[in-house]
Copies of this chain bind each other. A is one copy, B any other.
């Protein structure tokens, strides 16, 4: 198989239309894992995923129920003496809010300018579907697969995979593979593929501040009783210093000083400040002093407030002293930063900064350790060759700022290299309104994955 050969022809001519109709059906299921009212939709997406595995010829297909959302498993293990690849992806999606900023409804997929618009288009249904369709084409072409495959697809990635780690721990042998392949990351830019070799850890929390037992009239009590929003903004503002550094004592312990080699590697990822500012509608970028944009998003830890709420937020005004306010906070961690330790440091910090008369509580939602991968691993290098063949460009090996908490678990428990074969673009609004996926990368992604698995089968 090569570019212009049978597989490539089939993706563009015969299969493309049907594949897109199937992808649209997948994207129409509002499988938002973080919202309890979508529990049945998440189940439906799991069922849909399992059926799509069964239909192409995978075996032992199961929908495994957990205390949260189900795990979908399937395999094909008849390529004797050939490598085994575990394909991981997720069928759950981010919430659609703020829904009024979507140009078309988030769960009614629309194709425009060779891009498909829907929540989950790039993160991760579209990318996951690349693998399923690549396997389908390989089955069609050869009546079998060039390698052994296992698929493990979860519905809780967007809520930090609470139930997958125990499943992996209990099924080490069942899931054992020569490589774990994940398509849930991004290119550097259109036409410039990337295989990510580092993922930051994560720690997500909710901070709640309470004062009086009810909202009070600001005319009667204002200025003389604690105000929960004042207390909250005091605590939140204390989390960073004026140079953009996280101001929580001990936060940077375990963060490696960037070596000259790492700085050089990071600097190789192209970066155009003016273009980013223009794309994002920003007057200026902003971050930790002494580090470049690429370092800030790739190898430095961060603390971001993801949302804040408290008091009256409706139309017009309501002159109250609000009694409760809260914020969602998340950290990205690197090196030897331990999420459990960071959480404790944050609890101490919040306690110290909480003003008189206010009571603060910090609840942990999720935590994940950072992970680092070796770009020289043969499983990663072979993937790079497949990209080069299809795209005509060798992928870069960037340090990704995001977290896929389960990657660290796969690497640690299965002791396998993890190959982060992303097909998204950074501009595709993942986690934001108008999420989309470039169909060029859907088609070429299928070709790349076919070529990768064929290459692995020939080694």
Q: Which A residues have a C-beta under 8 Å from some C-beta of B?
A: 34-36, 94-95, 97-98, 101, 159, 186, 200, 202, 204, 206, 211-227, 229-230, 232-234, 236-237, 240, 244, 280-288, 293, 296-297, 300-302, 304-322, 325, 327-328, 330, 332, 355-357, 359, 365-366, 400-403, 426, 429-434
Contacts and interface: CB of A to CB of B under 8 A. Distances in A.
A307 B297 contact: no
Nearest to A297: B224
Number of copies: 2
Given A34-B317, A224-B285, 6 more contacts: A159-B317, A219-B403, A223-B332, A229-B306, A236-B237, A283-B359
Contact of A432 (B214, B301, B356, B434): B214
Nearest to A403: B219
A85 B447 CA distance: 87
Contacts of A206: 317
A357 B318 contact: no
A331 B381 CA distance: 63
Given A223-B288, A229-B305, A300-B223, A218 B332 contact: yes
B365 A213 contact: no
5 contacts: A159-B317, A223-B304, A223-B401, A286-B356, A308-B325
A401 B301 CA distance: 46
B433 A214 contact: yes
Nearest to A94: B318
Contact of A219 (B309, B313, B400): B400
Kindly name the residue among A227, A280, A309 whose own CB sees the greatest number of chain B CB atoms within 10 A: A280
Contact of A97 (B293, B318, B356): B318
Contacts of A293: 224
